[in-house]
Structure 1
């Protein structure tokens, strides 16, 4: 066995901290505009009427743009190096988020305000498309084969932790001033604070060396000269990308969006709970579910990626409709049309239901990073994984919050079904993923990342890798 995994240049703990910190900050940046969509609608759109759906459309534009960004950053990552790609993405994300906090209101610059928001969100979409794939690949290419799920699980856990920090900053900012002041200028503070976190993360990441697997490939002269072209012309790779998109990424993103943001907006706008109550429920559930993202990644090292992923998908298929039904029955059984308080017991019950849905989401996301990188060849791994992840997680699954809201406002159904009709979208994607996984996707958890072909390593190879120092 080569020594590329036994003598890496970076300490694995440093690799995990640096990679996870940067990805965490980028998810924090990405989530801010979703959670503060109401404030953005009030300040950056005309005062007349409600522009919440239009704001969600602009916010969702970042997910639509991510497949393009994945090709740009994938090209950099597969030709120049993993490290440089996610350094650039970090700077781009930080600058875009800071600038959102600086956009003048609609009353000052008119339609230029939402246009500037759109530009910043598109830049954020480009940035996150290069960040996630780069961080997962960078960590995995430092890890032994039988611990890849465990180590990449830390990257997966940055999603709930990033959201938790985001919710905490918003909650503290909102409660440190009057509602009027927060609506007028306080909403900008969480965006501006991001710049401090980005600078600190950049300093840490700058000290890292390149991935040992990529370095070995570069020394051997086997790096791809045209990663984008090869990703779409290498025999069977397009089929593999389609399996990755519809067998995991689209459904995973839709489950995550549903358990977090669709739930948040549903409790605010349909169940009519107070905003502070909703933020508290979401924050507590996010805190207690964060551990399970890494747990399920580690579990997939022992029993395989497919078993964990399919278990999470089946659980999600059951829990999505059941959870939203219970949210309404517990939080607003009398179908009140005004914002109201609920008992502490009801709050705890909603937390419990939401927690179960979040655990199902963690099971779909925890092993996904390791699974994704294991099915693609090393020299076009960044481009292939990035495109599949950003097409599924971004373009298709990332639109869940907007699509569910759009369906609810566009389709005429009975009053009983009206609040729930939008759930058709995530349920469809989850059902499709279960079918694709069972019928078409192979197990990958023993794949050797040092080989350009895909396939399981034998037990002797596994023990050799496991005995190396990481």
Structure 2
């Protein structure tokens, strides 16, 4: 299948093979997620290199790293406008270049010992640029793939884009693990941490040339031919009757919760096992890597399932499962990983490691159910002429600003609230659980079903 069945056959255009579209789009998005996640995975090492050696600066480093999520709504308006006025392809090509350059430059920042406070400031600047880049990348890739796909396969095809999140993290974990394993801990902290950042530039260049060969999406080309593209997508996105309501439904009906569930199942889990359960870093990386690999399939699976039974049913099922599994999983992490309340880093048995993997896997599958259908659901909410801007803004407000703050906010709550010793490790989970509860209510009662929508329909889908 080379074009969407929603485009009239009279359109004469250069066409992309759907397999080429999926591979080129997914590869670029995967690399951008690799770049985005790398600083989170390396937060502990970055805190040692980019801040003064006068105590722990982990929370400050997380704040800098989280800044990339905070700026994403602004970036979505910039790249959304480009995507809706000029084309989907050009927007995510530009985002790929910015992301690649920013990641490479993070690997070049001198340490705090060499340039003082300029080090964390430069890290902040490059993380903000990464935030701008990913804000244009994800929405563009999902829309580009969907606008090539047949109506009854949009969830299936966009599911490959959804799966780039765990795959990007998996590659990130593997690269970090291999580099760490090849040298001493001192050498890794001194210079080895730079290698995963610098390596990204090679992957970005290869992806750029693969994407450059692609043609524009057929849906957008038809819109452009008919002179129906928006001249002011940002203005139209906020002034079109009913569209702001859709944006809020998209943010709070699934997008923010999806992000917070994913952040919790991946990074909050990783930090919890490291800093609360006190497991060795190699053990934590092993658990996270195996779980990420095993759960990657389910992102595409749930996207495909949503083609058959609807986006809402799959998304709501994932949200309810997450509400149950998040508190259960973290309680079991502690009970299995540190039942004696040890205060030093300690090894655990192979059996305990496998049990932690199994629990973490269930949590990740619930996250996959919330994320798998989300790309198709988001793009189907909005009309074609303002789709990139509207989806991008909603996605980056929910996924970036609200849900993206999960890792930082959970750590902040844990260090700020005085509670009993029994509750102390878990108090930060209040944030993701509250967002999930809100999403269940909004999704169940206010969000429309979208999976049967014609992508060429320019009406506001607020049924």
TM-score tier after normalising by the smaller chain length: over 0.9
| Contact kept in structure 2, 1:64 and 1:394, CA below 8 Å | yes
CA contact (8 A) 2:242 2:460 kept: no
Match of 2:177 in 1: 171
Give 1:390 deviation, angstroms.
Answer: 0.1
How do 1:301-450 and structure 2 match up within 5 A?
301-450=307-456
Tell me which residue corresponds to 2:305.
Answer: 299
Find the aligned partners of 2:14 and 2:214 in 1 and give their Cα distance.
11
Q: Is the 8 A contact 1:5 1:144 kept in 2?
A: no
> How far apart in 1 are the matches of 2:421 and 2:249?
38
Query: Does the alignment pair 1:246 with 2:252?
Result: yes
Contact kept, 8 Å, 2:448 with 2:461, in 1: the verdict is no
- 1:143 maps to what in 2? 149
CA deviations 1:356-391 (Å, max 9, x no partner) are 000000000000000000000000000000000000
Match of 2:202 among 196, 210, 216: 196
Q: d(CA) in 2 for partners of 1:15 and 1:67?
A: 26
3-state SS of 1:452 partner: coil
Q: Which runs of 4 or more aligned residues in structure 1 lie more than 6 Å from their structure 2 counterparts after TM superposition?
A: 4-8
Partners of 2:87 and 2:119 in 1: CA distance? 37
State yes or no: 1:271 paired with 2:277.
yes
1:255 aligns with 2:285: no
Gaps of 5+ in 1: 457-470
Match of 1:452 in 2: 458
Report whether the alignment pairs 1:49 with 2:55: yes
77, 80, 86: which is aligned to 1:74? Answer: 80
Q: CA deviation at 1:454?
A: 4.5
Change (3 A) 1:455 1:44: closer
SS at match of 2:25: helix
Tell me, in whole angstroms, the C-alpha distance in 2 between the residues paired with 1:413 and 1:313: 27
User: Aligned-pair distance for 1:453?
Assistant: 1.6
2: CA distance, partners of 1:179 / 1:3 = 61
2:216 aligned to which of 210, 213, 233: 210
Partners in 1 of 2:12 and 2:255 — Cα distance?
A: 31
2:98 aligned with 1:92: yes
Alignment partners' CA distance in 1, 2:13 and 2:115: 56
Contact map agreement 1:31 1:163 (CA 8 A) in 2 = yes
SS of residue matched to 1:443: coil
SS of the aligned residue for 1:417 comes to coil
Q: Report the CA distance between 1:3 and its aligned residue.
A: 2.4
* SS of residue paired to 1:225: coil
Pick one of 128, 135, 148 that aligns with 1:129: 135
Specify the alignment match of 1:464 in structure 2: none
Counterpart residue number, 1:184:
190
Note if contact 1:4-1:213 (Cα within 8 Å) is conserved in structure 2. Answer: no
Separation of aligned partners in 1, 2:226 and 2:448: 29
Q: Secondary structure at the match of 1:362?
A: helix
SS in 2 for 1:398: coil
Structure 2: unaligned runs, 5 residues or longer? 1-5
Once residues 320 and 120 of structure 1 are traced to their aligned partners in structure 2, the CA distance between those partners, rounded to angstroms, is 32
The answer to whether the 8 A contact 1:71-1:387 is kept is: yes
Structure-2 separation of matches of 1:49 and 1:8: 59
SS in 1 for 2:113: helix
Aligned residues: 456
Deviations 1:290-325 (A, max 9, x none): 000000000000000000000000000000000000
**How far 1:451 sits from its partner (Å)?**
1.6
Q: What is the CA–CA distance in structure 2 between the aligned matches of 1:114 and 1:130, rounded to whole Å? A: 25
Deviations for 1:151-209, whole angstroms, at most 9, x for unmatched residues? Answer: 00000000000000000000000000000000100000000000000000001000000
The question of whether the paired residues in 2 share the 8 Å contact of 1:26 and 1:128 is answered with: yes
Q: How far 1:351 moved relative to its partner?
A: 0.2
Question: Normalising by structure 2, what TM-score?
Answer: 0.97
Alpha-carbon distance change, 4 to 333 in structure 1, aligned in 2, over 3 angstroms: farther
